[in-house]
Structure 1
Amino acid sequence: MPHRYQTAPMPASREPASLLSVDRAVAELRRGRMVAVRAAGGETALVLASEAATPEALDKLGELSGGDFVLAITARRAEVLGLVKSEAQVVALTPGGEISAETLRDIADPLTELPTTDSSQFEIAEAARYGCASAGVGLAKVARLLPAALCAAILDPEADDLDAWAARHDLFVVDAGDVFQYEYTTARTLKMVSEARVPLDGAENTRIIAFRPVDGGLEHLAVLIGEPGADAPVLTRLHSECFTGDLLGSLRCDCGEQLRAAIEAIGKEGCGALLYLAQEGRGIGLVNKLRAYELQDQGFDTIEANEQLGFDADERVYLPAAQMLRTLGIESVRLLTNNPDKVEALARCGVEVAERVSHRFPSNRHNETYLRTKQIRSGHLF
């Protein structure tokens, strides 16, 4: 399995058109529609997000594919359900009999009242790393949906020409390779699209530069304070957006404090950079973060909540941050962080981390368990 911060060996079919292809497929899934996926070796399948499973959708999935479906879920989700412990990233569940759309949705969603589930109800197999089922889960993640998808191999002999077949059935086709390379392709195509002077409290000499991938997707922001030079490591903060903490002042996290204190620290330094990254909820999106909060209220810690949803403890990648820093001419940083994984990740992306600068704040009664979990289970250095 490739390292979390490396790219998949399966190349995107074309660039930047590959981004537009994945964007379109994501839009289809978010609207409850299915898409056709084409993987290496001639494998083809119809994919539907588990959140969109309805009796009508299941009927259409079976009618068009001509075969049975599997429910593709992450190995994390399979393990917390007690189904199987696997080294694979995605597990494919083939129901042993009739199964309702509601049950399929419930298997993917830990916030529902799921009847007792055991491995005898399914034929369980590890999904091919670069196959259609894994691509389906990957698409669901990019769509910021629950990471689960229904996947049915296309058995219709007329689908040998997949593009023509899909056009007849009003389906969009996406290549699995484009899905697996999506994060890498978005990062490498980031370009500066606008810049403005924005005086900040405690850092009046500030510019904000917006970066956008070539497909017009999620934008990341660079907050440049002063004039960072190339002659010394630049004081830098990588800050993942947090609507609840940054904007609303949520007490469940320390994100708002980290953001404002980073600006203050860089302002006192005289120059530096804060990258405001579109990675809400450690990369799972705002809706899933709110789901994780509900699970935390049920007694799960911040890591367990992510795993219950089927995500890793941290789904972020730092390729966009590295690309932004390189574009800004910043090759070496003094990184404001308590997270050693962030130091390692940035270094793996080719940016020298000359020093880790502590970035700690007092806890409150709402976030003390969250911060303690990050220290004990994630190795954060407080």
Structure 2
Amino acid sequence: MDLKGLRKSVLEGKPIVLIDEEREAEADLVYPAEIVTPGTLNLMLEAKGMLCLAMDEDEALRRGFFRLPSKGSETNFLMSVDYGGTFTGISAEERALTAKKIAEELTIDHFRYPGHLHLLGGIGITRRRGHTEASLELVEMLGFKRYALIIELLDESGNSHNFEFVRGFARRHGLPVVTIREVFRETVRRKSFVKVAARAKLPSKYGTFKVIAFDNDLDFREHVGIVKEPLGEVPLVRIHSECLTGDTLGSSRCDCGSQLTNALRMIAQNGGILLYLQQEGRGIGLKNKIKAYELQDSGLDTVEANEALGFKADERDFSVAYQMLKALGVSKVRLLTNNPRKAKALEELGIEVVEVIPLFGEVNEVNRPYLEVKMLKLGHDLKPLLEGGK
């Protein structure tokens, strides 16, 4: 993201169009509450959605603001307010004043309620990737306090899912456009959500390693690192997604177990890091992986089975791998992988992938079709392995 350009636009009074392509398929206008003017707020009202002020829920509760009763809603609405110094509170000028007073961190005692400015409590972008949470990260990375005015963009028919209209609105008003995905990625790049929690020796048949556990406030799963020192300036790194059936039970349906074995042997000999991620079934979980196996037994391939269950072909997010490497002080890697997506994910977040080293597992008559699908549909570089038939 062009943060310098975004800040320049905001200081010119232009809201940012924030698009959610994945969860809601909607777009909001976003603007820092602390500098909003009546003119900018009036422009935002042209979006026709519900104008709200987003703030961190913990901070709101600390200052005496309180939640509204909720039934089946994932949005954390707080009591709407007007600043005590306003008249009716509904005008653009008075709503702008109320927003700025909230951003001054005044307590609930300075406000009337219910009022004309709706409040939303953010719970953190790692827990919920919605407009509320993403707007707070966005204004913060632009150098403002974590208070954001947001409003949904509706088209001429009142439809909130019209991206063609959204982009046209942005062009007409000269507004910058960013996505929640971009905000999340930049947040992961800039902040630390994963920290080392414990280290212990791990003697094994491959050699003696260190096993490292992490406190993880990114995806809240229990991932581990297997480390063999010395690491060198550019260590070998393997990102390995958990596979109970292959890693532990010796399944012939995949090559995961043999890849894990080969990675540990290489790291034992050369030093390096294996990140063992709790991402069973390319991120769909163990139960759903078994459901996918059932569909594969009926004739679907591994990609078709995942999609038939309502998942993407690969649901994994490698942001946590970046955070784990960051916690270990690693910024450059020689990556053991056949999957270009892993290298791309690390590079987008700021890890320099100096070299990609193929890591092949075993091929057998059972897993050959699976490996062919990984190569043809998921882009894994397996041609040398499959042509060699090893």
Cα deviation digits, residues 40-59 of structure 1 (max 9, x gap) = 9x9xxxxxxxxxxxxxxxxx
Partner of 2:326: 326
> Could you tell me how far 1:250 is from its partner in structure 2?
0.9
Instruction: Give me the TM-score of the superposition, normalised by structure 1.
Output: 0.53
Change (3 A) 1:374 1:219: same
Aligned AA (1:314): D
**Following the alignment from structure 1 to structure 2, what is the Cα–Cα distance between the partners of residues 129 and 367?**
43
Matches within 5 A, 1:259-278: 259-269=260-270, 271-278=271-278
Cα deviation digits, residues 101-132 of structure 1 (max 9, x gap) = xxxxxxxxxxxxxxxxxxxxxxxxx98599xx
Aligned AA (2:199): E
**Following the alignment from structure 1 to structure 2, what is the Cα–Cα distance between the partners of residues 277 and 347?**
18
Tell me if the contact between 2:236 and 2:267 (Cα under 8 Å) persists in the aligned partners.
Answer: yes
CA RMSD of aligned residues (A): 3.9
Change (3 A) 1:216 1:306: closer
Aligned AA (1:38): T
Aligned AA (2:322): A
Partner of 2:299: 299
Cα deviation digits, residues 70-118 of structure 1 (max 9, x gap) = xxxxxxxxxxxxxxxxxxxxxxxxxxxxxxxxxxxxxxxxxxxxxxxxx
Change (3 A) 1:297 1:359: same
Tell me if the contact between 1:16 and 1:215 (Cα under 8 Å) persists in the aligned partners.
Answer: no
Partner of 1:287: 287
Matches within 5 A, 1:188-207: 188-204=192-208, 206-207=209-210
Aligned AA (1:200): S
Identity %: 42
SS of residue in 2 equivalent to 1:355? strand
**Following the alignment from structure 1 to structure 2, what is the Cα–Cα distance between the partners of residues 254 and 220?**
21
Change (3 A) 1:128 1:222: farther
> Could you tell me how far 1:217 is from its partner in structure 2?
3.2
**Following the alignment from structure 1 to structure 2, what is the Cα–Cα distance between the partners of residues 358 and 14?**
44
Tell me if the contact between 1:236 and 1:336 (Cα under 8 Å) persists in the aligned partners.
Answer: yes
Change (3 A) 1:193 1:13: farther
**Following the alignment from structure 1 to structure 2, what is the Cα–Cα distance between the partners of residues 344 and 335?**
11
Q: Does 1:355 align with 2:359?
A: no
Cα deviation digits, residues 152-173 of structure 1 (max 9, x gap) = xxxxxxxxxxxxxxxxxxxxxx
SS of residue in 2 equivalent to 1:198? strand
Aligned AA (2:354): A
SS of residue in 1 equivalent to 2:204? coil
Partner of 1:316: 316
Partner of 1:53: none
Change (3 A) 1:302 1:36: same
Tell me if the contact between 2:194 and 2:323 (Cα under 8 Å) persists in the aligned partners.
Answer: yes
SS of residue in 1 equivalent to 2:345? helix
Partner of 2:258: 257
Tell me if the contact between 1:16 and 1:214 (Cα under 8 Å) persists in the aligned partners.
Answer: no
Number of equivalences: 230
Tell me if the contact between 2:256 and 2:361 (Cα under 8 Å) persists in the aligned partners.
Answer: no
Q: Does 1:338 align with 2:338?
A: yes
**Following the alignment from structure 2 to structure 1, what is the Cα–Cα distance between the partners of residues 329 and 27?**
28
Higher relative contact order, structure no. (Cα contacts within 8 Å, ≥ 6 residues apart):
1
Cα deviation digits, residues 163-220 of structure 1 (max 9, x gap) = xxxxxxxxxxxxxx9xx969x77x942221111011122222x100001224993111
Change (3 A) 1:36 1:373: same
**Following the alignment from structure 2 to structure 1, what is the Cα–Cα distance between the partners of residues 162 and 342?**
25
**Following the alignment from structure 1 to structure 2, what is the Cα–Cα distance between the partners of residues 36 and 347?**
37
Aligned AA (1:244): T
Aligned AA (2:281): G
SS of residue in 2 equivalent to 1:370? helix
Tell me if the contact between 1:334 and 1:356 (Cα under 8 Å) persists in the aligned partners.
Answer: yes
Change (3 A) 1:13 1:219: farther
Partner of 1:374: 374
Cα deviation digits, residues 287-315 of structure 1 (max 9, x gap) = 11111111111111111111111111111
Aligned AA (2:196): M
Partner of 1:51: none
Q: Which runs of 5+ in 2 are unaligned?
A: 1-18, 31-53, 60-70, 80-158, 164-179, 383-390
Matches within 5 A, 1:106-121: none
Cα deviation digits, residues 207-261 of structure 1 (max 9, x gap) = 00001224993111010012213x3x21010001111111111111111111111
**Following the alignment from structure 2 to structure 1, what is the Cα–Cα distance between the partners of residues 325 and 342?**
15
Q: Does 1:36 align with 2:81?
A: no
**Following the alignment from structure 1 to structure 2, what is the Cα–Cα distance between the partners of residues 335 and 35?**
44
Matches within 5 A, 1:177-192: 188-192=192-196
Instruction: Give me the TM-score of the superposition, normalised by structure 2.
Output: 0.52
Matches within 5 A, 1:59-208: 128=161, 188-204=192-208, 206-208=209-211
> Could you tell me how far 1:268 is from its partner in structure 2?
1.5
Partner of 1:364: 364
Match of 2:221 among 218, 221, 240: 218
Partner of 2:122: none
